[in-house]
Structure 1
Amino acid sequence: MKKLTWIIAVIVIVVLISIAFILRQSNSGDKDKNGYDTYEVKKENPINLEGKATPKSIKMYNNNDQIGSYISTSVNDGQTVKQGEPLINYDINNNKRKQLLDKLNATEDAYAKAEAQQELNKYDRTVYDSIYASFDGKVDIKNKNDVSAGEPILQLISKELQVKATISEFDVSKIKEGNDVDLSITSTGETAKGKIAKISELPKSFEDAGSKASGGEGGEAPSSNVINDPSSGNSDESSKYTIVINDIDIPVRSGYSMEVKVPVDTIKIPKSVLAKDNHVFVVGKDNKIEKRHIKIDKVNGEIIVKDGLKKGEKLIKHPKKNMNNGDKVEVSS
């Protein structure tokens, strides 16, 4: 009886092994029949950012009693002006300019004459900057009457807007100045186009540290604006960089939140398509394969293609070691 039990157990084991072998062969046959899986080369998805619309320039015009006595504004609140238009009326003290001009004309020494010319140019520039619009913009009157020396008279807000956004250290290397971007106004859904005008050299944490060191938060300004051994902020956080987008092709109100999409040309590939010595197998006409060497970078565990592949090309996944250039293969996808 015991012997019979052993015989039955052996028979069962043999049957199970046979079934497993048949299933394995069947699956293997199906894989060969279906052919190799492929990966289609495609560019990376756009980088999604959030930003704010801000004026490109803002200038405050204060009462400058060094050039004369303030009389009135020559523009109205909300008025749109062009660069060079007069904004403020002064009773200008012409004696100051006459003294500087007389000094220039009376000087014969070349070095002294150059200094006198610089003084005259500086005075003329001060007058211009105190009276005329430095750029196209909209006027915001702050005070019209009884304006003391140094107090604000009006503010000029640039008509040209820009969008500021932040990008992480993992994505900043994928973009460059001049790149086109797609914009969307968060509140309305209206879309626009723009271009990256500037990418900050330092991360925001350095910029914030520099602002504090220079008295940007109301502190006393240091005697020197050189910052030695600047802090980069929290070392546990990834760095973020400011980008500036301009050439926006629709009117946008300052302060609006914007969704920013930055298309990138970066091509990433999965590890499964990469063979020895950075080779891949590209599926060509009539399913013949081309063994091709590509240049890659490995960044944060991802394989970035620098050269050698184009969008739309198909690559063999898990290529066999004995696969050669010119082989014809069956592909399943």
Structure 2
Amino acid sequence: MKKKWIWSIGIITIILLIIVAFVLRQTNSNSEEKDSYNTYKVETEHSLNLEGKASPHLVKTYNNNSQIGTYISTQVDDGQSVKQGDPLINYDINGNKRKQLANKVDEAQTSVNEDYQKINQSPSNNDLQKKLSQDQNTLNQAQQQLIQHDKQINDSVYAAFNGKVNIKKNDDISDGETIIQLVSNESEIKTAVSEFDLNKIKAGNKVDVKVASTGQKGEGQIKKISELPKSYESNLRESSASATTSISGDDNEGTSNPVENDPSGENDSESSKYTVVIGDIDIPVRAGYSMEIKVPLDSIKLPKTVLTKDNNVFVVNHEGKIKKRNIKIDKINGEIFVKDGLKKGEKLIKNPKKTMNNGDKVEVSS
């Protein structure tokens, strides 16, 4: 009887130990589950992918200009590479005209010099002061005429920039008819971004470019972002053309500089697009080539799940300890962007609890 009682106590003790062990295990398991958190690794946004067309940075047209002389011939071959300042067209320029203009400058300068000498002798003579003012105006006009003459010759004869020559016609050319087009060596790419991506880029950003047809890769830089949407620019160009046509039909002289009051042109159902010009391209790109552009973005975008109620975050270090950090954010189109306070690669607690404190050690599951 005594043996049975001992056996019963032993069995009960074993059962109790098993129950205690199970309870402890469940408690530990629940504790671990309670302190286990998912994390989010801070990353910059994916590159912005754009498409565009390559074009020359500059194209200059050289027309037959009879005002500087009689056209004789071109001084370059079709497709020839030239440098800024190289002569392109040969005119029979009337040298007497420049000589006459230069003589006028010399004569006006002599008169001014004489005026100063007389004023030094009679400083209180108002008539001499008036004559000096008149002679100075004459000198300024003569100098401007000479400068304009030289500029016209330079603009009609010499290469304005480095590029390649495209001869349109080289004989039997009427006055004002195109002789040469000079195409700059420097290329640029025009593309467009939507209003939702506009704030992600800025002038000066480096970009990766790729020629769609050949796969050749290179780099470039955003040179300009238009202030107005493309549709507004088109509308303003049409308005400007209409204003020019209207003035050309009038007897009034001068240039029109119209002011657009509440310019229109946008479709309310579509997002606006803005022209972006990319230059400083480090690979040769032929005009008209289709280009693929990638704009690396430095902006950091966060999911809502990592924010506390006061829009801060808990950062986890390599020891598993957390620290609450104040960050600055912007909310744009429903997305959260970090202005300051976080770096790429840092880990944040997802769904942080109110009870979390600086220095707490947590288990992370990812």
Q: Cα offset for 1:232?
A: 4.2
Deviates more, 1:226-235 or 1:319-328: 226-235
| Paired amino acid for 2:197 | D
The residue number in structure 1 matching 2:129 is none
The residue number in structure 2 matching 1:275 is 308
Deviates more, 1:142-151 or 1:107-116: 107-116
The residue number in structure 2 matching 1:149 is 175
Contact residue 32 and residue 363 of structure 2 kept, 8 A: no
Q: Cα offset for 1:166?
A: 0.7
TM score, norm. by length of structure 2: 0.80
Residues of 2 paired with 1:30 and 1:172: CA distance?
47
The residue number in structure 2 matching 1:8 is none
Deviates more, 1:199-208 or 1:290-299: 199-208
Q: Which aligned pairs between 1:229-248 and structure 2 lie closer than 5 A?
A: 229=261, 230-248=263-281
Contact residue 35 and residue 362 of structure 2 kept, 8 A: no
Q: Does 1:181 align with 2:213?
A: no
| Paired amino acid for 1:220 | T
Secondary structure of the equivalent of 1:328? Answer: coil
Q: Which aligned pairs between 1:1-333 and structure 2 lie closer than 5 A?
A: 29=30, 32=33, 35-107=36-108, 108=112, 109-215=135-241, 220=245, 222=247, 224-229=256-261, 230-333=263-366
The residue number in structure 2 matching 1:20 is none
Q: Cα offset for 1:308?
A: 0.4
Secondary structure of the equivalent of 2:314? Answer: strand
TM score, norm. by length of structure 1: 0.88
Residues of 2 paired with 1:186 and 1:219: CA distance?
40
Q: Cα offset for 1:83?
A: 0.7
Q: Cα offset for 1:33?
A: 6.3
| Paired amino acid for 1:68 | G
Secondary structure of the equivalent of 1:117? Answer: helix
Count of equivalent residues: 307
Deviates more, 1:243-252 or 1:33-42: 33-42
Residues of 2 paired with 1:105 and 1:221: CA distance?
43
Q: Cα offset for 1:30?
A: 9.2
Secondary structure of the equivalent of 2:363? Answer: coil
Residues of 1 paired with 2:310 and 2:145: CA distance?
68
Q: Deviations over 1:300-322 (max 9, x none)?
A: 00011000000011110111111
Residues of 1 paired with 2:350 and 2:107: CA distance?
85
Q: Cα offset for 1:116?
A: 1.7
Residues of 2 paired with 1:277 and 1:252: CA distance?
51
Q: Deviations over 1:239-293 (max 9, x none)?
A: 2111111111111111000000000110000001100222100001311001001
Q: Deviations over 1:57-97 (max 9, x none)?
A: 00110000000000000111111111100000000022221
Contact residue 73 and residue 87 of structure 1 kept, 8 A: yes
Residues of 2 paired with 1:232 and 1:244: CA distance?
22
Secondary structure of the equivalent of 1:214? Answer: helix
The residue number in structure 2 matching 1:3 is none
| Paired amino acid for 2:349 | I
| Paired amino acid for 2:102 | L
Aligned identity (percent) is 60
Secondary structure of the equivalent of 1:100? Answer: helix
Residues of 2 paired with 1:290 and 1:133: CA distance?
64
Contact residue 169 and residue 240 of structure 1 kept, 8 A: yes
The residue number in structure 1 matching 2:119 is none
Residues of 2 paired with 1:51 and 1:219: CA distance?
31
Secondary structure of the equivalent of 2:324? Answer: strand
CA distance 1:207–1:132, change in 2 (3 Å)? same
Q: Cα offset for 1:189?
A: 1.4
RMSD: 2.0
CA distance 1:250–1:266, change in 2 (3 Å)? same
| Paired amino acid for 1:53 | A
